[in-house]
Amino acid sequence: MFKVRPTLLFMALLGLMICLLPAYGQLSRVEGPRWLSVTQINGDVTIVPFGKNVRRAQMGDRLSQVGDQVITGQNSSAQLTVDQGIASISVAERTQLQVRTLSITRSGGYITELLALRGQARLRVRPFTSPDSRLEIYTPAGVSGVRGTDFGITVQPDGKTGVATLEGSVTLSAQNQTVLVGTEQQSTASPGEPPTPPEPLRDDPSLSISALKPISDGSVQVSGSTDPVNLLEVAEARRVLDEGGQFDLTVALPRDRRVRIQVTTPLGTQQAYELAVP
C-alpha cells in the first residue's frame, strides 16, 4: 500500500426533483420577503426556477419559490446569501441545491429549508434572534439543522451524507434518531440508516491507494480509501464510498496512463491526485 497526501436528460432530472418534493413535505408559507441571492459565480452555474425555463445564473439572481434550484457544473462554484445575510452558502462544483421552504412564522421566525441532492456545500449561519427561526438542510439520507454555526455537507451519488462542524453545533437526524455534531466534530448518515456517532473533525482529503494495476481489457483497477465523509471523484466521475470509506473501481486506462482523482471534504478542502499506472 502506498499513501498520497494532501434538454431531455435535464428535464427528466427536473421531473424527478418535482416528484421528490411531496415526499419531504412543505410548510405553509407566510407573507414576507424571503430569498436566496446569487452573490458570486465561477464557471458554469445554472438557475432552475420552478416551472420555468432553465437559464444561466447571473449576479443578483434570486431563488424565492419552493422548488427553485441552483446547479453548478464541473470546475464551477457559486456563492449564495440568505436574505440580508442570515447565512452564506458556498456551493461547490457539481452540486445541486433546491429551495424546500422559505417562510416567516407569525411570531417573526425565519424558516429556511434547503434540499441538497448531490455535491458539497459549506454554510456559515449567524445566530438567530428568534427562537422560532431555523435553517435545515435535507438530503436523501436525513436532515441537518442549525441555529448559528459554520459547517459543511457532502452528498455522495448514493445519497450518503457527511456533516462536519467547524464552529457551533448541527443536529443530524435520520431514521428517527438524532446526533449532535458539535464544534470540530463530524458524522455520516446513509439512506435508511441512523447517523453515526460524532467523531473528531478531520477535514482530511488524504487518499490511500491499495491497488493500481492495468487489466488486459484496457482498463485499470483502482482501490483504496479516504475519510467516509468525503466526496471522491475518479476519472471525472463521482464514486460511492462504503461505510468505512473504501472503494474498488475499474475505469478506462487513460492514454497517458495517469488516473486523476479528486477528494473533497464537507468543509470544502480539496486535494487533486494524478496516479501513474505501472
Report d(CA 116, CA 160) in Å as an integer.
11
Are 101 and 190 members of one domain? yes
Looking at residue 51, what is its pLDDT? 80
Cell of 4: 498520497
Report d(CA 113, CA 66) in Å as an integer.
9
Looking at residue 16, what is its pLDDT? 39
Q: Return the CA Rg of the chain.
A: 19
- The reply to whether 2 falls in a domain is no
The angle at the Cα of 254, spanning 249 to 257, to the nearest 5 degrees, equals 95
Are 211 and 182 members of one domain? no
Query: Residue 256 in contact with residue 181, Cβ under 8 Å?
Result: no
Question: b/e per residue, 212-234, with b = 16+ CB within 10 A?
Answer: beeeeeeebebbbbbbbbbbbbb
According to DSSP, the residues that pair with 53 across neighbouring strands are none
Are 51 and 136 members of one domain? yes
Looking at residue 3, what is its pLDDT? 53
- The reply to whether 259 falls in a domain is yes
pLDDT tens per residue across all 278 residues of the chain: 545 554 433 333 444 343 333 334 343 443 458 999 999 999 999 999 988 889 999 999 999 999 999 999 999 999 999 998 899 999 999 999 999 999 999 898 999 999 999 999 999 999 998 899 999 999 999 999 997 899 999 999 999 999 999 999 999 999 999 999 999 999 999 999 999 999 999 999 999 999 999 998 899 999 999 999 999 999 999 999 999 999 999 999 999 999 999 999 999 999 999 999 99
Cell of 36: 436566496
Looking at residue 23, what is its pLDDT? 39
Report d(CA 122, CA 163) in Å as an integer.
10
**Could you tell me how far CA 99 lies from the centroid of its own chain?**
14
pTM, whole model, 2 decimals?
0.87
Please enumerate in sequence order all residues whose Cβ is within 8 A of that of 96, keeping only pairs 6 or more positions apart, or say none.
Answer: 69, 70, 71, 116, 117, 118, 119
CATH number at residue 237: 2.60.40.10
Looking at residue 178, what is its pLDDT? 97
Looking at residue 153, what is its pLDDT? 98
Of 176, 200, 224, the last residue of a domain is 200
Are 67 and 181 members of one domain? yes
Looking at residue 32, what is its pLDDT? 58
Looking at residue 68, what is its pLDDT? 95
- The reply to whether 271 falls in a domain is yes
Are 68 and 160 members of one domain? yes
According to DSSP, the residues that pair with 47 across neighbouring strands are 55, 70
96: nearest Cα among 20, 177, 209: 20
Cβ-based neighbour number of residue 75 at 10 Å: 10
Of 159, 182, 200, the last residue of a domain is 200
Cell of 1: 500500500
Looking at residue 192, what is its pLDDT? 96
According to DSSP, the residues that pair with 198 across neighbouring strands are none
Of 154, 171, 200, the last residue of a domain is 200
Residue ranges making up the domain that contains 138: 7-200
Query: Residue 247 in contact with residue 232, Cβ under 8 Å?
Result: yes
